[in-house]
């Protein structure tokens, strides 16, 4: 899995969905942030991470 850190998860999810890409935002917020998952065209997992707290720096 490849993990990408994003500044604004909601905006990134909206942008991907507008482009017709299926994205699954995790409805939970964790101590280290929020997450969403999608797959590349070859089926490899990609995770988007919006950090919170000390991980934001």
Q: What is the pLDDT of residues 1-50, one digit of tens each?
A: 999 999 999 999 999 999 999 999 999 999 999 999 999 999 999 999 99
- Residue 1 in contact with residue 45, Cβ under 8 Å? yes
Which parts of 1-57 fold into alpha helices (H)? 9-18
CA 47, distance to chain mean position in Å, is 5
Task: Please compute Rg for the chain using Cα positions.
Answer: 11
pLDDT at residue 56 is higher than 70:
no
Give residue 55's pLDDT band: very low, low, confident or very high (50, 70, 90). Answer: low
């Amino acid at each position: 899995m490849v993990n990408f850190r994003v500044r604004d998860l909601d905006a990134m999810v909206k942008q991907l969905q507008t482009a017709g890409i299926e994205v699954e935002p995790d409805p939970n917020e964790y101590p280290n942030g929020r997450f969403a998952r999608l797959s590349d065209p070859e089926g490899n997992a990609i995770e988007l991470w919006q950090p919170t707290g000390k991980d934001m720096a």
